[in-house]
Amino acid sequence: MKAFRLDELEAERAANEGAYLQFLRERNMSVGLYALNAGEHDPQRPHNQDEVYFVVSGRASITVGLETTEVARGSIVYVPAGVAHKFHHISEDLRVLVVFSPPEA
């Protein structure tokens, strides 16, 4: 078993001064913590993997392809591989659990 604590992951991500911390990588998936602060720009580009976002905290909008929706704590968003997507209008610091399948390259 592998178990993680969100507060410890957030501390490690912050210590590494990066927006993304991959903390689990297995044969068929990888999982990471993505952080964008209020007002920040999301620099993402389309990925070669399917993604699932689970919003742990914060508020923002996300556009996936041509669709836009608001997200907050508890929101779950699926993004197919190759589709353009970005968080925007981030009104509260955003912390998102990201699952890639297959694992992020």
Domain ranges of the chain: 6-101
Tell me the whole-structure pTM to 2 decimals: 0.94
Encoded tokens for 102:
């297959």
Q: Could you write out the three-class secondary structure of the chain?
A: CCCCCHHHHHHHHHHCCCCEEEEEECCCCEEEEEEECCCCCCCCCCCCCEEEEEEEEEEEEEEECCEEEEEECCCEEEECCCCCEEEEEEEEEEEEEEEEECCCC
Domain 6-101 CATH (choose: 2.60.120.10, 3.40.50.300, 1.20.120.140, 3.20.20.80): 2.60.120.10
Convert the pLDDT of each residue in 30-71 to its tens digit. 999 999 999 999 999 999 999 999 999 999 999 999 999 999
